[in-house]
Amino acid sequence: MINLLQKLTTKEKIGQLLQIAPFFFIKDLEKEVYGPLLDLQLNEEKIFLAGSVLGIGSATEMMEVQKQYLKKSKHQIPLLFMADIIHGYKTIFPVPLALASSWNPELVKKAARISAVEASTAGIHVTFAPMADLSRDPRWGRVVEGFGEDPYLTGVMAQSMVEGFQNDGIEKDGNLAACVKHFAGYGASEAGRDYNTVDVSRYALHNYYFEGYKKAIDAGAKLIMTAFNVIEGVPSTTNRFLLRDILRDQWKFKGVTISDYDSLKQTIAHGQAKDMEEAALNGIDAGLDIEMASSCYTNHLEKLIVSGQVDMKLLDEAVLRILELKKEIGLFENPYKGASLEQEEKLVLSKKHLAESLKVAHESAVLLKNEDVLPLDKQTKVALIGPFASSRKTQGSWSWHGRHENNQTLIEVFNLEKADVVYINDEVDALKYTKKDLEQLKTADVILVLVGEDEKWSGEAHSLSDLHLRDGQHLLVELAKSLNKKVVTVLFNGRPLVLTNISQSDAILEAWFLGTRSAQAVYDLLYGRVNPSGKLTMSFPVNVGQIPIYYNHLNTGRPLEFAENPNTYVSRYLDVGNDPLYPFGYGLSYSKFSYDPLELNSTTLQKEDALEVKVTIQNKSDVDGYEVVQLYIRDHHAKVVRPVQELKQFQKIWIPKRQKRSLTFKLTQTDLSYHLPNGDLVVEPGLFTVMVGSSAHHVEKIQFELKEDN
Ligand code: GLC
């Protein structure tokens, strides 16, 4: 690609850094694209020098755009097509927060695989996923797109998605190059308000927030997208510490960096650049390659090069990375790579894909409560009430290629399954129930209350300050309980909610947004055709005042558990406890699992050795089921204090009814290490506790000592 680079003029090089929407290439620039042209100060020459396209929706559209573009391309450098394929293309899978709740990396990889196969038939080459932003704040609407509050799990899930998307090579049809995002620390937006300030220490970045991006890069992600937020007062998009010190120098990342939508230009609003020229200078200096949906580079970089303020070397490096990526994908051989009307017809929304989506949905739901009411049997007379009885809006944000008409409603599935439904009412307002409604409702044995959030209430720019169910939906639970009926509440939402006002429910199933096959999955789980196996990856707070609340917190110098009398000077609230309503790693099953005490092969560990941690789990029920066995550690003394718990390994295992299974985890010093604020990875000898159990709060414990080097 060096030879090609050397043929390019400065204008042609700068064009490769521009990413714009597809309509610029196929609409009448004068009549139909006039406004955006003005906003971006583009003209035909600049448009037809662009390097990549943001968002494409079909093979036909992609082929038309590429054809029109290449007609005017002097060097025949094809456009690269990128899109947000986050949890499905047209077959929609559970939202990523739900995918993570499956604790099944292979399943998550499968979901990404199928998403890539479908999206690539439209000629898409790059997906802006996985989103690996760790978050501890469910007020932030984008928790729906991430994997929760734990660095290790976020890393495992991000790696699984990259492997699923990129599979056996991005040059192969059916595979997508992964662009991990948003680098960095976007999930720490203050007060959970999207795009807000992020102010976290390098200690927190290295030990919590960086893990997901790093594991995605280690898995081979080809691109990384910068975040909207600042880090240490410097916008991520122009942050040399992030883009050069960490990404290039420490992590040896060789791939392409891309801004988020307009985020280079937004460095003016942030108060860093005084104008687009300075934004361009800061961006190329920091190591930003592609500018998405703004035109600082296109309109100002040439002047900076000519004046010598920017070294041509910086531009060449960025352009070369982009050309190399296009070459690796195979675009120079076939500019229409992947786009196929025939494959689109054959593969998209295929029965096989829909069946896989159902399997993933089964394992992504989390049973939060069950007081002897689930599973239902077919003889049970049920009532379905609440807005999600008839809703098709169960695919969550970032699923716009999916169509709601492809999603069944719960009523449709219950009828298809010939369930004994005695009453249906999708009214959201309990106060509208008439005497007649109540008479009919009373004929049910169990009332299913189907409530949650509109899909639009989570996702980008959708933060909430109050996490209770909206529009008085909790009154439906109260109404049902007032009839002395068993009440099962099923939640359809994209974030942890405050559930204290539906605690009268006899059972609560967290169904998130499970995608195209959501309704069938919920039915199968409620009637025991499938045994719930999901576990939370974000804590559910008792109230918003507890936020940020997360399991892997530091102990403080005045921890609550040290206090003889909790009313002394210790770290706690006067009006609510310190614990969440439901903790990280929590989820029930129709099986009953019990853990035997842990066994170690030794109570001391030499650094170069591995400690064997054996645990036996018994299934004391008559129901076969999966259990997610979680292993946590605690490092009791370190130069830089460590969390009271850290997830380090887990296994999801099948345990048949009335049987038991033993697992042996191998703990090595890698599991026991942590990052100093400068990023150095260290491990210190001393006392550790290892914990194994069914959630962060339900564990068997045992201590061991890591010895000094011999
Ligand atoms: C959005 C999002 C980012 C997405 C991009 C392209 O603003 O922040 O996650 O990939 O724009 O749609």
Across residues 129-149, what is the average pLDDT? 98
Beta-bridge mates of residue 629 = 651
Q: State which amino acid sits at residue 74.
A: K
| 695 has pLDDT over 80 | yes
Nearest to 491 by CA among 450, 537, 552: 450
pLDDT given for residue 591 in this prediction = 98
User: Which amino acid residue places its CA nearest to atom 6 of ligand 1?
Assistant: 261
**206 C-alpha to center of ligand 1: Å?**
24
CA distance 434 to 440: 10
pLDDT at 140 over 80: yes
Rounded alpha-carbon distances, angstroms, from residue 65 to 60, 62, 84? 9, 5, 18
Asked if residues 91 and 355 have their Cβ atoms less than 8 Å apart, the reply is: no
The Cα–Cα gap between 428 and 391 comes to 12
Q: Which residues line ligand 1 (CB under 6 A)?
A: 54, 84, 128, 181, 260-261, 460
pLDDT value, residue 114: 98
Cβ atoms 489, 451 nearer than 8 A: yes
Q: Which of 130, 218, 139 is nearest to 177 (CA)?
A: 130
* Residue 515 near residue 394 (C-beta atoms within 8 A): yes
Q: What CA–CA distance (Å, rounded) separates 30 from 25?
A: 12
Q: What is the mean pLDDT of residues 493-513?
A: 98
Place of tokens 């990523």: 96
- Arithmetic mean of pLDDT, 352-365: 98
- Structure confidence at residue 35 as a pLDDT band (50, 70, 90): confident
Q: Are strands 223-226 and 660-667 parallel, antiparallel or unpaired?
A: unpaired
**What pLDDT is recorded for position 29?**
81
- The pLDDT tens digits of the residues spanning 391-441 come to 999 999 999 899 999 999 999 999 999 999 999 999 999 999 999 999 999
What does the pLDDT read at residue 317? 98
Pocket test for ligand 1, best of 19, 85, 128, 291 (most atoms within 8 A of CB): 128
Residue-level pLDDT at 253: 98
The token duo for 661 is 């299974």
Q: Is the pLDDT of residue 505 over 80?
A: yes
Ligand 1 center to 261 CA (angstroms): 6
In the chain, DSSP finds a helix count (H) and a strand count (E) of 23, 27
Per-residue confidence (pLDDT) for residue 60, from 0 to 100: 96
Encoded tokens for 667:
């703990």
Of 180, 261, 292, the residue with max ligand 1 atoms within 8 A of its CB, to mutate for a pocket test, comes to: 261
Residue 41 near residue 35 (C-beta atoms within 8 A) = no
Say yes or no to pLDDT of 456 above 80.
yes
Nearest to 117 by CA among 162, 160, 175: 175
Q: What is the mean pLDDT of the chain?
A: 97
Instruction: Please report the pLDDT score of residue 607 as a whole number.
Output: 87
- Reported as a single tens digit per residue, the pLDDT across 281-335 is 999 999 999 999 999 999 999 999 999 999 999 999 999 999 999 999 999 999 9
Closest residue by CA, ligand 1 atom 1: 261
DSSP string, 266-293: HHHHHTS-SSHHHHHHHHHHHT--BEES
Reported confidence tier of residue 213, pLDDT bands at 50, 70, 90: very high
Strand order in the sheet with 126-127: 256-258, 223-226, 177-183, 126-127, 80-83, 52-54, 18-20, 291-292
For residue 691 the two structure tokens come to: 């914990």
Instruction: List, by residue number, the catalytic residues.
Output: 260
**Calpha distance 3→321 (Å, rounded):** 14
Buried b (16+ CB within 10 A) or exposed e, 36-73: bbeebebeeebbbbbbbbbbbbbbebbbebbebbeeeb
For the chain, give the number of residues: 710
Mutate which of 52, 82, 84, 87 for ligand 1 pocket (most atoms within 8 A of beta carbon) = 84
Centroid of ligand 1 to alpha carbon of 462 (angstroms): 14
Average pLDDT over residues 545-561: 95
Q: State yes or no: pLDDT of 276 exceeds 80.
A: yes
Say what the pLDDT of residue 292 is: 97
3-state secondary structure of 177: strand
Torsion of CA 135, 131, 244, 169, to 10 degrees: 150
Distance, CA of 249 to CA of 269 (rounded, Å): 29
pLDDT band at 710 (very low <50, low <70, confident <90, very high): low
Distance 446 CA to ligand 1 centre (A): 43
Q: Which atom of ligand 1 is nearest to the CA of 131?
A: 9
Supply the pLDDT for residue 566: 67
Taking the centre of ligand 1 as the mean of its atom positions, its distance from the CA of residue 81, in whole angstroms, is 14
Q: What is the pLDDT of residue 312?
A: 98
CA Rg value for the chain = 26
Q: Is the pLDDT of residue 39 over 90?
A: no
Q: What is the C-alpha separation between 537 and 518, in angstroms, rounded?
A: 20
Beta pairing class for 52-54 and 18-20: parallel
Atom of ligand 1 nearest to the CA of 84: 10
Q: What integer pLDDT is reported at residue 154 of this predicted model?
A: 98
Query: Each residue of 154-211: pLDDT tens digit?
Result: 999 999 999 999 999 999 999 999 999 999 999 999 999 999 999 999 999 999 999 9
Provide the residue type at 136 as one letter. R
pTM score? 0.97
User: Mean pLDDT across the stretch 545-555?
Assistant: 98
Contact 396, 95 (CB under 8 A): yes
The residue whose CA has the least distance to atom 7 of ligand 1 is 261
Helices (H), ranges, 417-458:
435-441
